[in-house]
Amino acid sequence: MEKLAVVLIRNDRRLHDHEGLTLSQSFDRYLLLALLPPQWDQLERIAPERKRFIQSSINAFAESLGPVPLHLTSEPKLLLEELSENFDVTLLAESQGAEEEAHQLRAFNVRNLLLTRPNRIFEQREISPTFTPFRKRLEKFAKASSPEGRVALHPDRALVLQPFRFAPFDVPAFPSVGESNARARVKVYLERYLDSYSETRNYLEAPDASSRFSTFLANGEVSARWIYQEIQRRDPENWLAVELLWREFFWHQGANFALPSRGRSVSGWENKLSHPLARAIFNELVTTGYISNRSRQILASFLVYEVGLDWKIGGAFFEAHLHDYDVFVNWGNWQYIAGVKFDPRGGRRFNLDLQQEKYDPDETYIRKWA
């Protein structure tokens, strides 16, 4: 029987530094199969605009494959069963995601499942209750792993199943999706804006105030190892490297949804955004699918401490809308702000009047998103 590698493509839509794709080239045949996120059809889990964003990312990945076809089916389990009748199948999937994604994989019930390395900077897993000791240990004792190059896919060995061949989704091409846009953004940002990052990163809104790498990272369109290496090469002390370590921190801790609720389910909480800054941030998020880190902190704090909303409801709302939604980073940050985990100070409560005075003194932002 021929050995067939089925590479599941989830949030890892890139050709550089992709262990699964690289390994698949040593099998007799390989097939690329895109998998949609769990609960794809539940509107409250994934708002329509975020859905289009993900679809646009899948389109970009399919295009980047050139002659090698991508496949997509609503019944991946059935397809895998059929393939197993004719091939010795190994399923390759990047190790990522939380329990739900792991469940999705287990449900396929394949004999050979190979989990490949996650899109993290450090191979060695470090568990720490808070960020600072985690960062210190990594910086002192661990070695960041090096990114692999771009895989050369052999079109002649690619298995093509016409009925399951991916047809592009009918959605606009978002400028912030796709591996080539990701790599171009990293190069431009590091060349032009790295020096000013620590001064500007807290702005409420400005396209180059922060890197905007998050959407590319969330879709796996760029390698975290590569970005980190590029920063280290230019300016190892730069604060941007520390922010990437925050992502790393949450990825190493994993996701724990069993933590206690804090707050309650407030009916119509969307109409209780009594502070104009909270209202403006909410409007920007729903309209664009992106808000700055400072805005996320302010809105999350307002919802938890002023509205009294359960942090789990706030986190789910961010999940539905954020184009850069990342299971570990989103829930980790909510837990931090709400003071249920990770924060040695037991939570972060922001004074919105002071935040407005500092970051939007002339109300430009508030007026724009009123």
Ligand X SMILES: Cc1cc2nc3c(=O)[nH]c(=O)nc-3n(C[C@H](O)[C@H](O)[C@H](O)COP(=O)(O)OP(=O)(O)OC[C@H]3O[C@@H](n4cnc5c(N)ncnc54)[C@H](O)[C@@H]3O)c2cc1C
Strand arrangement of the beta sheet that strand 112-116 belongs to: 70-71, 29-34, 3-9, 88-94, 112-116
What DSSP letter does each residue of 232-268 carry, written as one string? HHH-TT-HHHHHHHHHHHHHHH---TTSPP-SB--TT
Tell me how far apart the terminal alpha carbons of the chain are, to the nearest angstrom.
63
Nearer to ligand X, 76 or 315 (CB): 315
Could you say which residues in the range 207-246 bind ligand X, by CB under 6 A? Answer: 210-214, 217-218, 240, 243-244, 246
Nearer to ligand X, 214 or 355 (CB): 214
- Contact call for residue 325 and ligand X (CB under 6 A): yes
Interaction of residue 253 with ligand X, rule CB under 6 A = no
Strand residues in the chain grouped as ranges (E): 3-9, 29-34, 70-71, 88-94, 112-116
Residue 244: CB minimum distance to ligand X, A: 5
Least CB distance to ligand X at residue 314 (A): 7
Stretch that binds ligand X, among 159-167, 255-263, 280-288, 320-328 (CB under 6 A): 320-328
Q: Does residue 90 interact with ligand X by CB under 6 A? A: no
- Is residue 335 close enough to count as binding ligand X by CB under 6 A? no
Residue with tokens 């430009």: 364
| Token reading at 208 | 């180059």
Max Cα-Cα span within the chain: 70
Residues 98-157 binding ligand X (CB under 6 A) are none
Written as one letter, the residue type at 229 is Q
Question: What is the total count of residues that contact ligand X (CB under 6 A)?
Answer: 29
Q: Which of 171, 293, 316, 339 binds ligand X (CB under 6 A)?
A: 293
Report helix, strand or coil for 333: helix
Backbone angles phi, psi at 360, to 5 degrees: -145, 55
Q: Which is nearer to ligand X, 33 or 338 (CB)?
A: 338
Q: Is 301 in the site for ligand X (CB under 6 A)?
A: no
What are the residues binding ligand X (CB under 6 A)?
Answer: 201, 210-214, 217-218, 240, 243-244, 246-247, 250, 292-293, 296-297, 300, 318, 322, 324-326, 329-330, 333-334, 337
